[in-house]
Protein backbone atom coordinates (compact mmCIF):
# COMPACT_ATOMS: atom_id res chain seq x y z
CA UNK A 1 0.00 0.00 0.00
CA UNK A 2 1.17 3.52 -0.84
CA UNK A 3 0.32 6.71 1.10
CA UNK A 4 0.34 10.13 -0.55
CA UNK A 5 0.28 13.41 1.36
CA UNK A 6 -1.26 16.52 -0.17
CA UNK A 7 -2.63 19.94 0.72
CA UNK A 8 -6.27 20.59 -0.15
CA UNK A 9 -6.81 23.66 -2.36
CA UNK A 10 -10.56 23.87 -1.73
CA UNK A 11 -10.39 26.73 0.78
CA UNK A 12 -7.93 28.63 3.02
CA UNK A 13 -8.03 25.81 5.62
CA UNK A 14 -5.53 23.92 3.47
CA UNK A 15 -6.20 20.57 5.16
CA UNK A 16 -3.27 18.14 5.08
CA UNK A 17 -4.80 15.07 3.52
CA UNK A 18 -3.28 11.62 3.41
CA UNK A 19 -4.56 9.17 0.86
CA UNK A 20 -3.95 5.42 0.99
CA UNK A 21 -3.73 3.79 -2.43
CA UNK A 22 -3.67 0.08 -3.18
CA UNK A 23 -3.11 -1.17 -6.75
CA UNK A 24 -3.99 2.23 -8.15
CA UNK A 25 -7.26 2.43 -6.21
CA UNK A 26 -7.94 4.90 -3.39
CA UNK A 27 -8.60 2.93 -0.20
CA UNK A 28 -8.99 5.79 2.25
CA UNK A 29 -8.84 9.59 2.50
CA UNK A 30 -7.89 11.07 5.89
CA UNK A 31 -7.29 14.55 7.28
CA UNK A 32 -9.87 16.40 5.21
CA UNK A 33 -12.63 18.22 7.04
CA UNK A 34 -15.24 18.24 4.30
CA UNK A 35 -16.42 16.64 1.08
CA UNK A 36 -14.46 19.09 -1.11
CA UNK A 37 -11.22 17.66 0.29
CA UNK A 38 -12.32 14.10 -0.36
CA UNK A 39 -13.22 14.84 -3.99
CA UNK A 40 -10.05 16.83 -4.58
CA UNK A 41 -7.77 14.18 -3.07
CA UNK A 42 -9.30 11.29 -5.05
CA UNK A 43 -8.78 13.07 -8.35
CA UNK A 44 -5.40 14.59 -7.49
CA UNK A 45 -3.67 11.35 -6.45
CA UNK A 46 -4.82 9.31 -9.43
CA UNK A 47 -4.57 11.75 -12.32
CA UNK A 48 -3.43 15.28 -11.45
CA UNK A 49 -4.27 17.63 -14.34
CA UNK A 50 -3.29 21.25 -14.97
CA UNK A 51 -3.95 24.06 -17.43
CA UNK A 52 -0.58 25.32 -18.71
CA UNK A 53 -0.24 28.99 -19.65
CA UNK A 54 2.69 30.75 -21.29
CA UNK A 55 3.44 33.17 -24.09
CA UNK A 56 4.99 32.81 -27.53
CA UNK A 57 6.75 35.21 -29.86
CA UNK A 58 4.61 36.88 -32.53
CA UNK A 59 6.12 37.45 -35.96
CA UNK A 60 4.30 40.61 -36.81
CA UNK A 61 3.45 42.25 -40.11
CA UNK A 62 3.36 45.95 -39.19
CA UNK A 63 0.81 46.65 -41.91
CA UNK A 64 -1.59 44.31 -40.19
CA UNK A 65 -2.01 46.84 -37.41
CA UNK A 66 -3.46 50.05 -38.79
CA UNK A 67 -4.43 51.33 -35.34
CA UNK A 68 -2.07 53.37 -33.22
CA UNK A 69 -2.11 50.79 -30.44
CA UNK A 70 1.30 49.35 -29.63
CA UNK A 71 1.70 45.65 -30.25
CA UNK A 72 4.09 43.70 -28.11
CA UNK A 73 6.34 40.94 -29.44
CA UNK A 74 4.55 38.17 -27.52
CA UNK A 75 1.07 36.75 -27.29
CA UNK A 76 -0.23 34.80 -24.31
CA UNK A 77 -1.35 31.19 -24.82
CA UNK A 78 -2.84 28.29 -22.86
CA UNK A 79 -3.65 24.64 -23.23
CA UNK A 80 -7.25 24.44 -24.47
CA UNK A 81 -7.98 22.00 -21.64
CA UNK A 82 -6.11 20.38 -18.75
CA UNK A 83 -3.09 18.22 -19.47
CA UNK A 84 -1.50 15.60 -17.18
CA UNK A 85 0.74 17.26 -14.59
CA UNK A 86 3.75 15.12 -15.55
CA UNK A 87 3.53 16.43 -19.14
CA UNK A 88 3.89 20.12 -18.18
CA UNK A 89 7.61 20.37 -19.02
CA UNK A 90 7.12 18.53 -22.33
CA UNK A 91 4.34 20.99 -23.17
CA UNK A 92 6.66 23.89 -22.32
CA UNK A 93 9.43 22.47 -24.54
CA UNK A 94 7.08 22.58 -27.52
CA UNK A 95 5.74 26.02 -26.62
CA UNK A 96 9.33 27.32 -26.52
CA UNK A 97 9.91 26.09 -30.07
CA UNK A 98 6.70 27.71 -31.39
CA UNK A 99 5.78 31.16 -32.61
CA UNK A 100 2.59 32.81 -33.83
CA UNK A 101 2.05 35.00 -36.88
CA UNK A 102 0.05 38.20 -36.53
CA UNK A 103 -2.78 38.91 -36.58
CA UNK A 104 -3.72 36.52 -33.78
CA UNK A 105 -7.22 36.31 -32.31
CA UNK A 106 -8.27 34.87 -28.95
CA UNK A 107 -8.96 31.16 -29.41
CA UNK A 108 -6.74 30.74 -32.51
CA UNK A 109 -4.92 27.42 -32.47
CA UNK A 110 -1.17 28.01 -32.21
CA UNK A 111 -0.14 24.35 -31.91
CA UNK A 112 -2.11 21.11 -32.37
CA UNK A 113 -1.79 18.09 -30.07
CA UNK A 114 0.94 19.52 -27.87
CA UNK A 115 3.40 16.91 -26.56
CA UNK A 116 1.12 14.11 -27.65
CA UNK A 117 -1.58 15.07 -25.16
CA UNK A 118 -4.26 15.54 -27.79
CA UNK A 119 -4.73 19.09 -26.47
CA UNK A 120 -4.16 22.24 -28.55
CA UNK A 121 -2.32 25.40 -27.55
CA UNK A 122 -4.59 28.41 -28.18
CA UNK A 123 -4.07 32.16 -28.04
CA UNK A 124 -5.56 34.03 -25.08
CA UNK A 125 -5.05 37.55 -26.45
CA UNK A 126 -5.64 39.43 -29.67
CA UNK A 127 -2.32 40.54 -31.11
Partner 1 sequence: MNSYDVVIVGGGPAGLAAAVAARDAGCERILILERDSELGGILNQCIHNGFGLHTFKEELTGPEYAARFIDQVRSRNIEFKLNTMVLDIAADRTVTAMNRQDGMMSIAAGAVILAMGCRERPRGALNIPGFRPAGIFSAGTAQRLVNIEGYMPGKRIVILGSGDIGLIMARRMTLEGAKVLCVAELMPYSGGLKRNIVQCLNDYNIPLLLSHTVVDIRGKQRVEGVTIAKVDDRFKPIPGTETDYDCDTLMLSTGLIPENELSRNVGIDINPITNGPFVAENFETSVPGIFACGNVLHVHDLVDFVSEEAGRAGRAAAAFVSSQSDDITNHKVVHVITKGGVRYTVPTSIDIDRMTDSTIVRFRVANVFQNHYINVYIDDTRIIHQKKRIMAPGEMEQAVLKKSQLQSFSNIRNITIAVESE
Binding residues (CB under 8 A) for partner 1: these are 6-14, 33-34, 50-55, 57, 68-70, 72-74, 76-78, 85, 88-89, 92, 96, 106, 124-126
Q: For the range 35-38, what are the long-range contacts, defined as Cβ-Cβ under 8 Å and sequence gap of 24 or more? A: 36/8, 36/10, 36/11, 37/8, 37/10
CB of 54 to partner 1, least distance (A): 6
The minimum distance between CB 23 and partner 1, in angstroms, equals 25
**In angstroms, what is the minimal distance from the CB of 105 to partner 1?**
10
Contacts 24+ apart (CB under 8 A), 64-70: 64/102, 64/103, 65/102, 65/103
Q: Among residues 20 and 82, whose Cβ is nearest to partner 1?
A: 82
SS3 state of residue 103:
coil
Cβ nearer to partner 1, comparing 28 with 126: 126
Amino acid sequence: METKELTCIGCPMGCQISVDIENGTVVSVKGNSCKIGDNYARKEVVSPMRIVTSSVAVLSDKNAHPSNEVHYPRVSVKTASEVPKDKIMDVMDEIHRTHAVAPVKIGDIILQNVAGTGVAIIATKNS
